[in-house]
Structure 1
Amino acid sequence: MLKRPQRGDPFWIWMLHWWEAFSWAIIGLLALITALSDLPPAPKYGSLALMAGLGACCLLVRTRKGNPTMWGYAYVAVLIAGLGELAYLRSGYGVLYTVMLPQFMIYVNALVPAIVSSGLGAAAITIGGALRVGWNLENLTTNTVSSAAVWAVAVLLSVATPRALALRDERARLRAQLADAQQELAQAHRRSGAAEERERMAREIHDTLAQGFASIVALAGAARTNLREDPERATDQLRSIEQTARENLTEARALVGSAPRSGLAPDPISHTLRRTLRRFTEDTGLVMVAELPDLECDQTGRITLLRCAQESLANIRKHAEATTVGVVLAQRPEAIELEITDDGRGFDTSESIGFGLDGMRRRLAELGGELTITSAPGAGTRILAAIPLRTNTT
C-alpha cells in the first residue's frame, strides 16, 4: 500500500493522494444526493450501503495493523465488486470507476497487479451496466469502449507510479545520506572545537601556570640557600614566591572563566612587560637591558606579546646560562616587534622544537604575525616576535 506522501516526495505521489481524497469527497456528495432523491428503495438503499461499505473498508485498511499489501489487495477486490454492483444498480454510477482510479495504484503497490486490478474494475462496471440495461450489442460496445479508454489511463498511471516511487525512494535515500553527513560534520566540528579548546587551555597553562610554578620552585630553592647566608635576600625571594603564587591563582581563576585575566588589563604593553622583566630580574639576578616605549596595542596583541616574552624568559632561565638579557619593543611601519636577546650558550635552530616555541608560533600566526629565531651554539639567541600593525593598533 502506498504510504502517505512526505515532504519532498514527487508531485506524482501527492497527485494520487489528492485524487483519492477528491474521490471520497465525490462519493460523499453522491451519497448525500442519493439519500435525498426519490429513487426506488432497492437502488437507493443498495447504492448507499455499497458506498458506505467501501468507505468502511478503506478506513479499516488504513488503520489495520499487519501486512499492508495483503489488506490492500483485499480492499481492491472489494472495490472491484462494489463498482460493478453500483454500475448495476443505477445509470451513471459507472463514472465512479474514473473517480476511484488512483486507488488501484495506492492500494496495489506494484505495476502488474495495478494494471490487472484496474482492468478488472473496467470489466466490472462494463458487466454491471450490461446486466442493468440488458446485453444489447450497441450499449455493450459503447460501455466497453469507454471503460477501455479509462483503463488506458489507468495503465499510464500504473506505469508512472513505480517511477515516481523510485524517485521518492532515491530522494529519501539522499535525504538520509545528507542528514548523516550533516550529523557527522556537526560531530567533527564538535571534536575539532574540543581539540582546539584543549590545545588552547594547554597553551595557556604552559604559558602562565607552568612558568609560574617553575619560578616558585626556583625561588624556593634559592630562598632555602639564602636563609642563613643572606636573610634579606631570602625575604625578597619569599615575597616573590608569594606574589607569583597570587598571580598563578588569579590566572587559574581566569582560565576557568571565574575572573578577568590577570596582568592583561588595558595598560600599555610596555607597563606589563616592565613588571614581568622586573620580577624576572629579581628571580634570576641577570642583567636586564630594556627599551620599552609606550605603544598602542589592542588586548589580543598585548596578550600575545606578553606570552611570547614570558616563554622567551622562561627558556633563558632554564637553558641559556646567560648573564645579560635585552628586550626591545618597537613599532615599525607595518608591525609591532618584540625582540628578546641573550648572551647565553645558544642552540641549533634546526632543532628548535618544543611546546613553548610552537605555542608562540601559533599565537603569532593567529594574528598574521611570525616568529623569527636566530641562534647558534655559543653565540646567544635572538627571538623576534612581529605582529602586523593593522591588526593591533587601537
Structure 2
Amino acid sequence: MLNRPQRGDPFWIWMLHWWEVFSWAIIGLLALITVLSDLPPWPKYGSLALMAVLGACCVLVRTRKANPVRLGYAYVGVLIAVIGALAYLRPGYGVLYTVMLPHFMIYVDALIPAIVSSGLGAVAITIGGALRQGWSAGSLTTNTISSAAVWAVAVLITVATPRALALRDERARLRSQLADAQEELAEAHRRRGMAEERERMAREIHDTLAQGFASIVALTVAARTNVHDDPARAVDQLRSIEQTARENLTEARALVGSAPRSGLAPDPISRTLHRTLRRFTEDTGLTMVADLPDVDCDQTGRIALLRCAQEALANVRKHAQATTVGVVLARRPEAIELEITDDGRGFDVSESIGFGLDGMRRRLDELGGELTITSAAGAGTRILAAIPLRTNP
C-alpha cells in the first residue's frame, strides 16, 4: 500500500495521492447528489450504501497496521464489486472506474496484480452497464470498448508507478542516510565539545588549583621547619598559606560557575603580575628582576599571560634550582610578549614533556599566539609567550 508521499518524492507519487483525494471528493459529491435526488428507493439507497461500504473499507485499510497487503487486496476486491454494482444501479456511474483508477496502484503492492485487478474493474463496469441497459450485443460492445480504453490507461499508469516508487524509495534511502550522517556529525560535535571542555577544565585546574595546592604544601613544610628557629618567618609563611588557600577557593568557585570566570579582577596585566611575583618572592626567597610596564590587554589575554607566568614560576620552584628569575612584559609592533628567564640548571627542550607546558601552548594557540622555550643543561631557561595585538581591543 502506497503511504502518504513525503517532501522530495517524485511528481508521479504526488499525482497518485492527489488523484486519490480527488476520487473521494467525487464520491462525496455523488453521495450528496444522490441524497438530494428524487430517485426510487432501491437505486438511491442502494448506491448510498455501496459508497458508504467503500469508504468504510478504505478507512479500515488506512487505520489498521496489521496485514496491510492482505487488507489492500481485500479493499480492491470490494472496490471492483462496488463500481460494478454502481454501474448497474445508476446510468453514468461507470465513470467511477476512471475516477478510482489510482486505488488499483495504491492498494496493490505488485505490478501484475495491479494490472489484473484494474482489468477486473473494467470487466465489472462493463457487465454492470450491460445489465442495466439490457443484455445486448450493441450495449456490451460499447461498454467493452470504453472500458478497454480506460484499462489501457490504467496499464500505463500501473507500469509507470513502480519506477516512481523505486525513485521514491531511493530518495527516501538518501534522506535517511543524510539524516543519519547529520546525527553522527552532531554526536561527533557533541563529543568533541565534551572533550574540549574536559581538557579546558583540566588545564584550568592544573594552572590554578594544582599550583596553589603545590604552593601550600611547600609553604607548610617550610613553616613547620621555621616554627621554632624563625617564628616571624613561619608566621609570614602561614599568611601565605592562608592567602593561597583563599585564592584557590576563589578559583574553585569560578570553575563551577559561582563566580566570574577565572576569578581574576579586571586589573591591568602589569599589576596582576606584580602581585604574583611578590607572592612568589615571599614564598621562595629567590631574587626577582621584573620589568612590567603598563600595556593594554583584554581579559582573555590577561588570563593567558598570567597562567603562563604562573606555570613558568611553578616550574622554577619545582625544578630549576635557580637563584634569580627575570620577568619582562613588552609591547611589540605586532604582539604583546611576556618573557620569563631563570639561571637554573636548565633542561633538554626536545625531551621535555608535561601537561603544564602543553597547556601553555594550547592557551596561546587559542589566541593565535606562540610559546617559545629556550633552555640547555646548566644554562638556565627562557620562556617567551606572545599573543598578537589583534586579539586585544
* TM-score, normalization by structure 1: 0.94
Count of aligned positions: 393
What is the CA distance between 1:380 and its match in structure 2? 0.8
1:318-345 Cα shifts (integer Å, max 9, x gaps) = 1111111111111111111111111111
State the distance in 1 between where 2:264 and 2:42 align.
97
Task: Tell me which residue corresponds to 2:324.
Answer: 324
Task: Tell me which residue corresponds to 2:220.
Answer: 220
What is the CA distance between 1:257 and its match in structure 2? 1.2
Measured at CA, do residues 56 and 324 of structure 1 come closer, stay the same or move farther in structure 2, by a change above 3 Å? Answer: closer
Task: Tell me which residue corresponds to 1:105.
Answer: 105
What is the CA distance between 1:286 and its match in structure 2? 0.9
Task: Tell me which residue corresponds to 2:80.
Answer: 80
Structure 1 letter corresponding to 2:382: R
Partner SS for 1:154: helix
Task: Tell me which residue corresponds to 1:201.
Answer: 201
- Structure 2 unaligned regions, length at least 5: none
What is the CA distance between 1:135 and its match in structure 2? 4.4
Q: Percent identical across equivalent pairs?
A: 86
Q: Do structure 1's residue 333 and structure 2's residue 333 form an aligned pair? A: yes
What is the CA distance between 1:72 and its match in structure 2? 1.6
State the distance in 2 between where 1:257 and 1:63 align.
53
My pick for the range that moved more, 364-373 or 19-28, is: 19-28
Measured at CA, do residues 5 and 206 of structure 1 come closer, stay the same or move farther in structure 2, by a change above 3 Å? Answer: same
Measured at CA, do residues 369 and 149 of structure 1 come closer, stay the same or move farther in structure 2, by a change above 3 Å? Answer: same
Partner SS for 2:326: strand
My pick for the range that moved more, 65-74 or 143-152, is: 65-74
- Structure 1 unaligned regions, length at least 5: none
Measured at CA, do residues 39 and 264 of structure 1 come closer, stay the same or move farther in structure 2, by a change above 3 Å? Answer: closer
Structure 2 letter corresponding to 1:176: S
Structure 2 letter corresponding to 1:273: L
Measured at CA, do residues 75 and 344 of structure 1 come closer, stay the same or move farther in structure 2, by a change above 3 Å? Answer: same
State the distance in 2 between where 1:337 and 1:64 align.
74
Match runs of 1:1-394 below 5 Å:
1-64=1-64, 66-261=66-261, 264-392=264-392, 394=393
Partner SS for 2:76: helix
Measured at CA, do residues 114 and 264 of structure 1 come closer, stay the same or move farther in structure 2, by a change above 3 Å? Answer: same
Report if aligned partners of 2:286, 2:325 keep a CA contact under 8 Å in 1: yes
State the distance in 2 between where 1:170 and 1:288 align.
73
What is the CA distance between 1:180 and its match in structure 2? 2.1
Report if aligned partners of 1:250, 1:261 keep a CA contact under 8 Å in 2: no
Report if aligned partners of 2:371, 2:385 keep a CA contact under 8 Å in 1: yes
Partner SS for 1:382: strand
The runs of 4+ residues in structure 1 deviating greater than 4 Å are none
What is the CA distance between 1:244 and its match in structure 2? 1.0
Partner SS for 2:12: helix
Partner SS for 1:213: helix
What is the CA distance between 1:145 and its match in structure 2? 2.0
My pick for the range that moved more, 317-326 or 259-268, is: 259-268
Report if aligned partners of 1:326, 1:342 keep a CA contact under 8 Å in 2: yes
Partner SS for 1:330: strand
What is the CA distance between 1:285 and its match in structure 2? 0.9
Measured at CA, do residues 244 and 151 of structure 1 come closer, stay the same or move farther in structure 2, by a change above 3 Å? Answer: same
* TM-score, normalization by structure 2: 0.94
Structure 2 letter corresponding to 1:361: R
Structure 2 letter corresponding to 1:389: L
My pick for the range that moved more, 152-161 or 49-58, is: 49-58
State the distance in 1 between where 2:203 and 2:298 align.
20
Measured at CA, do residues 61 and 233 of structure 1 come closer, stay the same or move farther in structure 2, by a change above 3 Å? Answer: closer
Measured at CA, do residues 8 and 285 of structure 1 come closer, stay the same or move farther in structure 2, by a change above 3 Å? Answer: same
What is the CA distance between 1:164 and its match in structure 2? 2.2
Measured at CA, do residues 254 and 150 of structure 1 come closer, stay the same or move farther in structure 2, by a change above 3 Å? Answer: same
Measured at CA, do residues 12 and 368 of structure 1 come closer, stay the same or move farther in structure 2, by a change above 3 Å? Answer: same
Report if aligned partners of 1:247, 1:262 keep a CA contact under 8 Å in 2: no
Measured at CA, do residues 389 and 229 of structure 1 come closer, stay the same or move farther in structure 2, by a change above 3 Å? Answer: same
What is the CA distance between 1:71 and its match in structure 2? 1.7
1:123-178 Cα shifts (integer Å, max 9, x gaps) = 11112222233444443333222111111111122112222222222232223222
User: CA RMSD of the aligned region, Å?
Assistant: 1.8
What is the CA distance between 1:372 and its match in structure 2? 0.7
Partner SS for 1:272: helix
Measured at CA, do residues 340 and 91 of structure 1 come closer, stay the same or move farther in structure 2, by a change above 3 Å? Answer: same
